[in-house]
Protein backbone atom coordinates (compact mmCIF):
# COMPACT_ATOMS: atom_id res chain seq x y z
CA UNK A 1 0.00 0.00 0.00
CA UNK A 2 1.33 3.43 -0.90
CA UNK A 3 1.63 6.37 1.46
CA UNK A 4 -1.56 7.96 0.15
CA UNK A 5 -4.30 7.46 -2.38
CA UNK A 6 -4.12 10.69 -4.36
CA UNK A 7 -7.64 10.50 -5.77
CA UNK A 8 -9.18 10.25 -2.32
CA UNK A 9 -6.44 12.06 -0.36
CA UNK A 10 -6.36 9.09 1.97
CA UNK A 11 -3.31 8.70 4.20
CA UNK A 12 -2.20 5.86 6.44
CA UNK A 13 -0.38 4.79 9.58
CA UNK A 14 3.11 3.33 9.23
CA UNK A 15 3.48 0.14 11.27
CA UNK A 16 6.11 -2.54 10.89
CA UNK A 17 7.31 -1.06 7.61
CA UNK A 18 3.84 -0.97 6.00
CA UNK A 19 1.38 1.84 5.30
CA UNK A 20 -1.93 0.68 6.79
CA UNK A 21 -5.36 2.08 7.66
CA UNK A 22 -6.67 2.18 11.20
CA UNK A 23 -7.90 -1.30 12.13
CA UNK A 24 -11.54 -0.18 12.27
CA UNK A 25 -11.25 1.99 9.14
CA UNK A 26 -12.04 5.26 10.88
CA UNK A 27 -10.50 8.48 9.51
CA UNK A 28 -10.52 12.20 10.29
CA UNK A 29 -10.38 15.26 8.05
CA UNK A 30 -7.33 17.48 8.00
CA UNK A 31 -8.09 21.09 6.99
CA UNK A 32 -5.97 24.07 6.01
CA UNK A 33 -6.47 26.62 8.84
CA UNK A 34 -6.03 29.54 6.43
CA UNK A 35 -8.95 28.67 4.16
CA UNK A 36 -10.66 25.52 5.42
CA UNK A 37 -9.71 23.46 2.36
CA UNK A 38 -9.48 19.70 2.76
CA UNK A 39 -5.92 18.36 2.80
CA UNK A 40 -6.76 14.72 3.33
CA UNK A 41 -8.19 11.99 5.51
CA UNK A 42 -5.97 10.47 8.19
CA UNK A 43 -6.43 7.41 10.41
CA UNK A 44 -8.31 7.86 13.64
CA UNK A 45 -6.50 5.05 15.39
CA UNK A 46 -7.37 3.22 18.60
CA UNK A 47 -5.94 0.77 21.12
CA UNK A 48 -5.62 -2.06 18.61
CA UNK A 49 -3.45 0.13 16.34
CA UNK A 50 -1.30 1.16 19.30
CA UNK A 51 -0.85 -2.48 20.27
CA UNK A 52 0.20 -3.39 16.76
CA UNK A 53 2.71 -0.54 16.54
CA UNK A 54 4.24 -1.28 19.95
CA UNK A 55 4.54 -4.97 19.06
CA UNK A 56 6.34 -4.05 15.83
CA UNK A 57 8.68 -1.71 17.69
CA UNK A 58 9.40 -4.29 20.37
CA UNK A 59 10.20 -6.97 17.78
CA UNK A 60 12.48 -4.60 15.83
CA UNK A 61 14.35 -3.52 18.96
CA UNK A 62 16.13 -6.85 19.32
CA UNK A 63 18.13 -6.28 16.12
CA UNK A 64 18.23 -2.48 16.18
CA UNK A 65 19.91 -2.31 19.59
CA UNK A 66 22.63 -4.64 18.28
CA UNK A 67 23.16 -2.60 15.09
CA UNK A 68 26.43 -0.71 15.60
CA UNK A 69 25.72 2.92 16.44
CA UNK A 70 27.85 4.21 13.53
CA UNK A 71 25.65 2.16 11.19
CA UNK A 72 22.55 3.66 12.78
CA UNK A 73 24.19 7.02 12.17
CA UNK A 74 24.63 6.27 8.47
CA UNK A 75 20.87 5.94 8.13
CA UNK A 76 20.37 9.28 9.88
CA UNK A 77 22.86 10.86 7.47
CA UNK A 78 20.67 9.61 4.63
CA UNK A 79 17.62 11.01 6.42
CA UNK A 80 19.33 14.40 6.57
CA UNK A 81 20.16 14.33 2.88
CA UNK A 82 16.63 13.32 1.88
CA UNK A 83 15.15 16.05 4.09
CA UNK A 84 17.44 18.51 2.32
CA UNK A 85 16.24 17.32 -1.08
CA UNK A 86 12.57 17.46 -0.05
CA UNK A 87 12.76 20.58 2.10
CA UNK A 88 10.52 22.74 -0.08
CA UNK A 89 7.91 20.02 -0.60
CA UNK A 90 7.67 19.26 3.12
CA UNK A 91 7.69 22.95 4.08
CA UNK A 92 4.76 23.72 1.78
CA UNK A 93 2.77 20.81 3.18
CA UNK A 94 3.61 22.00 6.69
CA UNK A 95 2.43 25.55 5.98
CA UNK A 96 -0.80 24.25 4.47
CA UNK A 97 -1.81 22.27 7.55
CA UNK A 98 -0.26 24.32 10.38
CA UNK A 99 -0.41 27.88 9.01
CA UNK A 100 3.06 29.28 9.71
CA UNK A 101 4.53 31.34 6.90
CA UNK A 102 6.65 29.45 4.38
CA UNK A 103 10.00 30.87 5.46
CA UNK A 104 9.31 29.60 8.98
CA UNK A 105 8.15 26.24 7.67
CA UNK A 106 11.46 25.89 5.87
CA UNK A 107 13.16 26.62 9.18
CA UNK A 108 11.06 23.92 10.82
CA UNK A 109 12.33 21.37 8.29
CA UNK A 110 15.87 22.73 8.62
CA UNK A 111 15.83 21.83 12.30
CA UNK A 112 15.07 18.27 11.26
CA UNK A 113 18.02 18.37 8.84
CA UNK A 114 20.33 19.79 11.50
CA UNK A 115 19.24 17.21 14.05
CA UNK A 116 19.70 14.33 11.60
CA UNK A 117 23.32 15.29 10.94
CA UNK A 118 24.02 16.10 14.59
CA UNK A 119 22.66 12.82 15.96
CA UNK A 120 24.23 10.84 13.11
CA UNK A 121 27.59 12.14 14.31
CA UNK A 122 26.80 11.03 17.85
CA UNK A 123 26.68 7.48 16.50
CA UNK A 124 30.47 7.54 16.57
CA UNK A 125 30.60 8.91 20.11
CA UNK A 126 27.75 8.01 22.50
CA UNK A 127 30.40 8.55 25.11
CA UNK A 128 30.50 6.53 28.29
CA UNK A 129 32.94 6.89 31.17
CA UNK A 130 36.26 5.22 31.99
CA UNK A 131 37.31 5.77 35.61
CA UNK A 132 40.10 4.40 37.81
CA UNK A 133 39.24 1.48 40.07
CA UNK A 134 40.10 1.61 43.74
CA UNK A 135 41.53 -1.90 43.48
CA UNK A 136 44.61 -3.13 41.56
CA UNK A 137 44.31 -5.07 38.32
CA UNK A 138 40.69 -4.08 37.90
CA UNK A 139 38.99 -2.00 35.17
CA UNK A 140 35.93 0.15 35.80
CA UNK A 141 33.86 1.86 33.16
CA UNK A 142 30.32 2.83 32.22
CA UNK A 143 28.46 2.44 28.94
CA UNK A 144 25.18 3.78 27.61
CA UNK A 145 22.48 1.34 26.61
CA UNK A 146 19.10 1.90 24.92
CA UNK A 147 15.92 1.78 26.98
CA UNK A 148 13.63 -0.08 24.57
CA UNK A 149 10.40 1.10 22.93
CA UNK A 150 9.91 4.87 23.22
CA UNK A 151 6.65 6.76 22.65
CA UNK A 152 7.16 10.19 21.06
CA UNK A 153 4.03 12.35 21.45
CA UNK A 154 4.38 15.67 19.68
CA UNK A 155 2.52 19.00 19.24
CA UNK A 156 1.25 20.78 16.12
CA UNK A 157 3.33 23.96 16.22
CA UNK A 158 6.60 22.33 15.08
CA UNK A 159 5.38 19.21 13.30
CA UNK A 160 8.77 18.32 11.77
CA UNK A 161 11.32 19.83 14.15
CA UNK A 162 10.02 18.43 17.44
CA UNK A 163 9.45 14.87 16.17
CA UNK A 164 12.97 15.06 14.75
CA UNK A 165 14.43 16.12 18.11
CA UNK A 166 12.78 13.21 19.84
CA UNK A 167 12.98 10.39 17.32
CA UNK A 168 16.51 10.96 16.06
CA UNK A 169 18.00 11.02 19.56
CA UNK A 170 16.02 7.92 20.50
CA UNK A 171 17.04 6.05 17.34
CA UNK A 172 20.76 6.80 17.44
CA UNK A 173 20.83 5.52 21.01
CA UNK A 174 19.38 2.19 19.84
CA UNK A 175 15.75 2.57 20.84
CA UNK A 176 12.74 1.93 18.63
CA UNK A 177 9.93 4.47 18.37
CA UNK A 178 6.18 4.77 18.16
CA UNK A 179 5.39 8.30 16.97
CA UNK A 180 2.02 9.88 17.73
CA UNK A 181 1.68 13.25 15.93
CA UNK A 182 -0.74 16.03 16.85
CA UNK A 183 -4.23 15.60 15.43
CA UNK A 184 -3.92 18.94 13.60
CA UNK A 185 -0.70 18.09 11.73
CA UNK A 186 -0.63 14.46 10.56
CA UNK A 187 0.45 15.32 6.99
CA UNK A 188 3.82 16.66 8.15
CA UNK A 189 4.27 13.48 10.17
CA UNK A 190 3.62 11.31 7.12
CA UNK A 191 6.12 13.33 5.07
CA UNK A 192 8.75 12.94 7.79
CA UNK A 193 8.23 9.20 8.21
CA UNK A 194 8.38 8.73 4.42
CA UNK A 195 11.92 10.10 4.59
CA UNK A 196 12.95 7.59 7.26
CA UNK A 197 11.45 4.74 5.25
CA UNK A 198 13.17 5.84 2.06
CA UNK A 199 16.47 6.22 3.91
CA UNK A 200 16.44 2.51 4.68
CA UNK A 201 15.36 2.42 8.32
CA UNK A 202 14.46 -1.22 9.05
CA UNK A 203 10.76 -2.10 9.43
CA UNK A 204 9.36 -1.57 12.91
CA UNK A 205 12.14 0.72 14.11
CA UNK A 206 9.94 3.81 13.60
CA UNK A 207 6.16 3.51 13.60
CA UNK A 208 3.54 6.21 13.02
CA UNK A 209 0.08 6.05 14.62
CA UNK A 210 -2.25 8.99 13.96
CA UNK A 211 -5.21 9.79 16.18
CA UNK A 212 -6.38 11.66 19.24
CA UNK A 213 -4.76 11.97 22.63
CA UNK A 214 -7.35 9.85 24.50
CA UNK A 215 -7.45 7.15 21.81
CA UNK A 216 -3.75 6.93 20.95
CA UNK A 217 -1.67 9.12 23.26
CA UNK A 218 -2.74 7.80 26.65
CA UNK A 219 -2.89 4.15 25.50
CA UNK A 220 0.74 4.58 24.44
CA UNK A 221 1.65 6.08 27.81
CA UNK A 222 0.02 3.21 29.70
CA UNK A 223 1.17 0.39 27.40
CA UNK A 224 3.28 -2.07 29.42
CA UNK A 225 5.79 -2.56 26.58
CA UNK A 226 6.54 1.16 26.21
CA UNK A 227 9.60 1.88 28.34
CA UNK A 228 9.74 5.69 28.07
CA UNK A 229 7.61 8.61 26.94
CA UNK A 230 8.78 11.87 25.42
CA UNK A 231 5.91 14.36 25.47
CA UNK A 232 5.58 17.96 24.31
CA UNK A 233 2.27 19.76 24.84
CA UNK A 234 0.11 21.54 27.39
CA UNK A 235 0.72 21.53 31.13
CA UNK A 236 -2.64 19.94 31.83
CA UNK A 237 -2.04 16.96 29.54
CA UNK A 238 1.58 16.77 30.67
CA UNK A 239 0.46 16.25 34.26
CA UNK A 240 -1.86 13.45 33.16
CA UNK A 241 0.98 11.82 31.23
CA UNK A 242 3.31 12.11 34.21
CA UNK A 243 0.80 10.58 36.61
CA UNK A 244 -0.01 7.67 34.31
CA UNK A 245 3.67 6.98 33.59
CA UNK A 246 4.44 7.03 37.30
CA UNK A 247 2.01 4.17 37.89
CA UNK A 248 4.42 1.91 36.01
CA UNK A 249 7.62 3.72 37.10
CA UNK A 250 8.27 4.73 33.50
CA UNK A 251 10.78 7.30 32.43
CA UNK A 252 9.10 10.41 31.03
CA UNK A 253 10.30 13.74 29.71
CA UNK A 254 7.86 16.65 29.60
CA UNK A 255 8.27 19.80 27.52
CA UNK A 256 5.34 22.01 28.47
CA UNK A 257 4.34 25.67 28.49
CA UNK A 258 6.08 29.00 28.63
CA UNK A 259 5.34 32.60 29.60
CA UNK A 260 8.44 34.14 28.17
CA UNK A 261 9.54 37.74 28.58
CA UNK A 262 11.73 40.26 26.81
CA UNK A 263 13.23 42.88 29.12
CA UNK A 264 14.07 46.23 27.52
CA UNK A 265 16.25 48.56 29.59
CA UNK A 266 16.52 52.34 29.12
CA UNK A 267 19.95 51.96 27.50
CA UNK A 268 18.82 49.37 24.92
CA UNK A 269 19.15 49.73 21.15
CA UNK A 270 15.43 50.23 20.48
CA UNK A 271 15.68 49.44 16.77
CA UNK A 272 17.20 46.07 17.60
CA UNK A 273 14.75 45.51 20.43
CA UNK A 274 11.78 46.21 18.14
CA UNK A 275 12.98 43.63 15.65
CA UNK A 276 13.38 41.08 18.43
CA UNK A 277 9.96 41.83 19.92
CA UNK A 278 8.06 41.61 16.63
CA UNK A 279 9.74 38.33 15.72
CA UNK A 280 9.34 36.79 19.17
CA UNK A 281 5.75 37.86 19.81
CA UNK A 282 4.19 37.42 16.38
CA UNK A 283 6.42 34.90 14.59
CA UNK A 284 4.50 31.63 14.16
CA UNK A 285 1.46 33.76 15.15
CA UNK A 286 2.69 33.56 18.75
CA UNK A 287 2.25 29.79 18.74
CA UNK A 288 5.66 28.81 20.09
CA UNK A 289 6.50 27.64 23.58
CA UNK A 290 9.35 30.18 23.38
CA UNK A 291 7.21 33.04 22.03
CA UNK A 292 7.41 36.34 23.89
CA UNK A 293 4.13 37.10 25.61
CA UNK A 294 5.43 39.61 28.20
CA UNK A 295 7.31 42.80 27.39
CA UNK A 296 8.98 44.10 30.55
CA UNK A 297 10.07 47.67 29.84
CA UNK A 298 11.98 50.17 31.96
CA UNK A 299 9.96 53.30 32.63
CA UNK A 300 12.19 55.70 30.70
CA UNK A 301 11.54 54.08 27.32
CA UNK A 302 8.15 52.46 27.84
CA UNK A 303 6.03 55.12 26.08
CA UNK A 304 8.42 55.47 23.14
CA UNK A 305 8.77 51.73 22.66
CA UNK A 306 5.02 51.21 22.90
CA UNK A 307 4.38 53.87 20.24
CA UNK A 308 6.96 52.42 17.87
CA UNK A 309 5.70 48.91 18.47
CA UNK A 310 2.16 49.92 17.52
CA UNK A 311 3.49 51.40 14.27
CA UNK A 312 5.28 48.18 13.40
CA UNK A 313 2.30 46.04 14.30
CA UNK A 314 0.02 48.07 12.04
CA UNK A 315 2.14 47.05 9.05
CA UNK A 316 1.93 43.30 9.69
CA UNK A 317 0.02 41.55 6.91
CA UNK A 318 -2.21 38.56 7.63
CA UNK A 319 -2.82 35.84 5.06
CA UNK A 320 -2.06 32.34 3.89
CA UNK A 321 1.45 31.29 4.81
CA UNK A 322 2.22 30.29 1.22
CA UNK A 323 1.72 33.87 0.02
CA UNK A 324 4.97 35.83 -0.16
CA UNK A 325 3.29 38.96 1.20
CA UNK A 326 2.14 37.30 4.45
CA UNK A 327 3.79 38.20 7.76
CA UNK A 328 1.35 36.45 10.11
CA UNK A 329 -0.59 33.29 9.33
CA UNK A 330 -3.70 31.83 10.98
CA UNK A 331 -3.88 30.23 14.41
CA UNK A 332 -4.18 26.48 14.31
CA UNK A 333 -7.98 26.10 14.59
CA UNK A 334 -11.20 27.83 15.57
CA UNK A 335 -11.07 26.53 19.12
CA UNK A 336 -7.68 28.10 19.69
CA UNK A 337 -8.80 31.36 18.09
CA UNK A 338 -11.77 31.50 20.46
CA UNK A 339 -9.58 30.67 23.44
CA UNK A 340 -7.22 33.53 22.56
CA UNK A 341 -10.15 35.92 22.26
CA UNK A 342 -11.52 34.88 25.65
CA UNK A 343 -8.45 36.49 27.25
CA UNK A 344 -9.48 39.92 25.99
CA UNK A 345 -12.35 40.03 28.46
CA UNK A 346 -10.00 38.75 31.14
CA UNK A 347 -7.51 41.52 30.37
CA UNK A 348 -9.98 44.39 30.38
CA UNK A 349 -11.74 42.97 33.41
CA UNK A 350 -8.49 43.16 35.36
CA UNK A 351 -7.77 46.72 34.22
CA UNK A 352 -5.48 46.25 31.22
CA UNK A 353 -6.04 48.13 27.95
CA UNK A 354 -6.27 46.73 24.43
CA UNK A 355 -3.92 49.01 22.47
CA UNK A 356 -4.13 47.09 19.19
CA UNK A 357 -5.90 44.02 17.86
CA UNK A 358 -8.02 42.20 20.38
CA UNK A 359 -10.29 40.54 17.83
CA UNK A 360 -10.45 37.90 15.12
CA UNK A 361 -9.59 39.00 11.58
CA UNK A 362 -12.53 38.28 9.28
CA UNK A 363 -12.07 40.68 6.35
CA UNK A 364 -12.17 39.30 2.81
CA UNK A 365 -10.40 35.98 2.35
CA UNK A 366 -9.45 35.97 6.04
CA UNK A 367 -13.05 35.09 6.86
CA UNK A 368 -12.42 31.57 5.52
CA UNK A 369 -9.60 30.91 7.99
CA UNK A 370 -8.85 31.11 11.70
CA UNK A 371 -6.99 34.42 11.92
CA UNK A 372 -6.46 36.62 14.97
CA UNK A 373 -5.10 40.15 14.83
CA UNK A 374 -1.72 40.81 16.49
CA UNK A 375 -2.65 42.24 19.87
CA UNK A 376 -0.91 44.57 22.30
CA UNK A 377 -2.13 44.93 25.88
CA UNK A 378 -1.04 47.97 27.89
CA UNK A 379 -1.17 48.70 31.59
CA UNK A 380 -0.60 45.07 32.52
CA UNK A 381 0.41 44.27 36.08
CA UNK A 382 2.55 41.21 36.93
CA UNK A 383 -0.22 39.42 38.87
CA UNK A 384 -2.84 39.68 36.13
CA UNK A 385 -3.88 36.43 34.47
CA UNK A 386 -2.71 37.68 31.06
CA UNK A 387 0.76 38.09 32.59
CA UNK A 388 0.81 34.61 34.12
CA UNK A 389 -1.17 32.21 31.91
CA UNK A 390 -0.01 30.89 28.56
CA UNK A 391 -2.31 32.30 25.84
CA UNK A 392 -0.41 30.74 22.90
CA UNK A 393 -1.35 33.31 20.31
CA UNK A 394 -0.32 36.71 18.93
CA UNK A 395 -0.90 38.58 22.22
CA UNK A 396 1.79 40.67 23.92
CA UNK A 397 1.42 42.28 27.37
CA UNK A 398 3.43 45.39 28.32
CA UNK A 399 4.63 45.61 31.94
CA UNK A 400 6.44 48.74 33.11
CA UNK A 401 9.26 48.44 35.67
CA UNK A 402 11.67 50.84 37.40
CA UNK A 403 14.92 48.85 37.68
CA UNK A 404 16.85 45.78 36.62
CA UNK A 405 16.13 44.14 39.96
CA UNK A 406 12.39 44.64 39.47
CA UNK A 407 12.62 43.39 35.89
CA UNK A 408 14.30 40.17 36.97
CA UNK A 409 11.81 39.66 39.78
CA UNK A 410 8.86 40.12 37.40
CA UNK A 411 10.44 37.82 34.81
CA UNK A 412 10.94 35.05 37.37
CA UNK A 413 7.53 35.40 39.04
CA UNK A 414 5.65 33.05 36.74
CA UNK A 415 4.69 29.37 36.88
CA UNK A 416 6.91 28.80 33.83
CA UNK A 417 10.58 29.22 33.03
CA UNK A 418 11.55 28.44 29.46
CA UNK A 419 13.06 31.45 27.67
CA UNK A 420 14.06 34.96 28.76
CA UNK A 421 15.67 37.86 26.94
CA UNK A 422 17.19 41.22 27.82
CA UNK A 423 18.13 44.16 25.60
CA UNK A 424 20.80 46.41 27.09
CA UNK A 425 24.06 48.09 26.08
CA UNK A 426 25.54 47.71 29.58
CA UNK A 427 27.77 44.64 29.95
CA UNK A 428 27.31 44.62 33.73
CA UNK A 429 23.54 44.59 33.34
CA UNK A 430 23.81 41.74 30.88
CA UNK A 431 26.00 39.68 33.21
CA UNK A 432 23.59 40.11 36.13
CA UNK A 433 20.68 39.11 33.90
CA UNK A 434 22.50 36.01 32.62
CA UNK A 435 23.09 34.96 36.21
CA UNK A 436 19.70 35.77 37.73
CA UNK A 437 17.08 35.14 35.03
CA UNK A 438 15.52 31.85 36.13
CA UNK A 439 14.81 30.09 32.84
CA UNK A 440 16.28 27.28 30.78
CA UNK A 441 17.27 29.65 27.95
CA UNK A 442 18.60 33.21 28.26
CA UNK A 443 19.21 35.60 25.36
CA UNK A 444 21.12 38.89 25.44
CA UNK A 445 20.19 41.42 22.74
CA UNK A 446 18.07 38.87 20.87
CA UNK A 447 14.48 37.68 21.08
CA UNK A 448 13.19 34.71 23.05
CA UNK A 449 12.98 32.28 20.11
CA UNK A 450 15.56 30.57 17.93
CA UNK A 451 17.20 27.78 19.97
CA UNK A 452 19.92 25.75 18.26
CA UNK A 453 19.93 21.96 18.31
CA UNK A 454 23.44 21.47 19.69
CA UNK A 455 22.49 22.84 23.12
CA UNK A 456 19.98 21.33 25.58
CA UNK A 457 16.46 22.72 25.20
CA UNK A 458 14.05 22.98 28.12
CA UNK A 459 13.00 25.02 31.11
CA UNK A 460 12.39 25.17 34.84
CA UNK A 461 9.34 25.21 37.09
CA UNK A 462 6.12 24.32 35.24
CA UNK A 463 7.82 24.27 31.84
CA UNK A 464 8.85 20.65 32.30
CA UNK A 465 10.17 17.99 34.63
CA UNK A 466 13.88 18.73 34.43
CA UNK A 467 14.90 16.72 31.38
CA UNK A 468 16.21 18.40 28.24
CA UNK A 469 15.75 17.87 24.53
CA UNK A 470 18.36 18.34 21.79
CA UNK A 471 22.08 18.41 22.44
CA UNK A 472 23.69 15.81 24.67
CA UNK A 473 20.86 16.22 27.17
CA UNK A 474 18.58 14.25 24.87
CA UNK A 475 20.93 11.27 24.90
CA UNK A 476 20.90 11.28 28.69
CA UNK A 477 17.16 10.70 28.62
CA UNK A 478 17.16 8.03 25.92
CA UNK A 479 19.90 5.86 27.45
CA UNK A 480 20.50 3.84 30.60
CA UNK A 481 23.90 3.70 32.29
CA UNK A 482 25.50 0.31 32.84
CA UNK A 483 28.55 0.11 35.14
CA UNK A 484 31.01 -2.65 34.17
CA UNK A 485 33.87 -4.00 36.30
CA UNK A 486 36.52 -6.37 34.94
CA UNK A 487 38.79 -7.92 37.56
CA UNK A 488 41.94 -9.47 36.07
CA UNK A 489 43.80 -9.93 39.36
CA UNK A 490 43.04 -13.64 39.54
CA UNK A 491 41.67 -13.39 43.08
CA UNK A 492 38.53 -12.18 44.79
CA UNK A 493 38.76 -8.46 45.57
CA UNK A 494 36.07 -6.80 47.62
CA UNK A 495 35.32 -3.12 46.96
CA UNK A 496 35.39 -0.92 50.06
CA UNK A 497 36.76 -3.83 52.11
CA UNK A 498 40.08 -4.87 50.55
Mean of the pLDDT values across residues 356-385? Answer: 97
β-pair partners for 376: 356, 396
- pLDDT by residue (tens digit) across 440-450? 999 999 999 99
Comparing CA positions, the residue from 104, 105, 82, 86 lying closest to residue 94 is 105
pLDDT of residue 498: 86
Mean of the pLDDT values across residues 365-376? Answer: 97
Angle CA(139)–CA(145)–CA(146) in degrees, nearest 5?
180
For residue 380, CA distances in Å to 297, 346, 389 come to 11, 11, 13
Q: Is 152 a catalytic residue?
A: no
Mean of the pLDDT values across residues 392-409? Answer: 98
Q: Of all residues in the chain, what percent carry a pLDDT higher than 70?
A: 98
Between β-strands 375-378 and 353-356, what pairing exists: parallel, antiparallel or unpaired? antiparallel
> Phi/psi of residue 60, each to 5°?
-70, -25
Catalytic one of 97, 122, 255, 469: 255
Band of pLDDT at residue 3, cut at 50, 70 and 90: low
Catalytic one of 111, 194, 289, 400: 289
pLDDT of residue 1: 46
- pLDDT by residue (tens digit) across 91-137? 999 999 999 999 999 999 999 999 999 999 999 999 999 999 999 99
Q: Is 292 a catalytic residue?
A: no
User: Which architecture characterizes domain 4-256 according to CATH?
Assistant: 3-Layer(aba) Sandwich (3.40)
What residue segments make up the domains of the chain, in order of their start?
Answer: 4-256, 260-444
Q: What is the pTM of this model?
A: 0.96
Phi-psi region of 416 (alpha: psi -120 to 50; beta: other; left: phi over 0): beta
- State the average pLDDT for the chain: 97
pLDDT of residue 4: 58
- pLDDT by residue (tens digit) across 22-55? 999 999 999 999 999 999 999 999 999 999 999 9
pLDDT of residue 347: 98
- pLDDT by residue (tens digit) across 228-266? 999 999 999 999 999 999 999 999 999 999 999 999 999
CATH number of the domain located at residue range(s) 260-444 in this protein: 3.40.309.10
For residue 292, CA distances in Å to 113, 362, 411 come to 26, 25, 11
For residue 446, CA distances in Å to 123, 416, 421, 453, 491 come to 33, 20, 7, 17, 61
CA distance 414 to 269: 27
Indicate the DSSP class of residue 165: H
Amino acid sequence: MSTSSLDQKQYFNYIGGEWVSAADGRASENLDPANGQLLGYFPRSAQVDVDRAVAAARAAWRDWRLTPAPKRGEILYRVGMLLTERKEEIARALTSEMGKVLVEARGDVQEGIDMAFYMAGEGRRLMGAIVPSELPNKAAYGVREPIGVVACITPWNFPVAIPSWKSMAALIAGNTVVFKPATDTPLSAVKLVEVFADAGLPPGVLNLVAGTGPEVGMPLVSHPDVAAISFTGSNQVGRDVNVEAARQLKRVTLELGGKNAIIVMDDADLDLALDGIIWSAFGTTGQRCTACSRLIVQKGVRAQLEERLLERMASLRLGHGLEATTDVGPVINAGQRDRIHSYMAVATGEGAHILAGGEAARDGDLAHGTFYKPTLLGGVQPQMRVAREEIFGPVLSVIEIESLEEAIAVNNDTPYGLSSSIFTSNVNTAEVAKRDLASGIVYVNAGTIGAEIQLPFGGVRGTGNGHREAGLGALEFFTEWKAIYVDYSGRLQRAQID
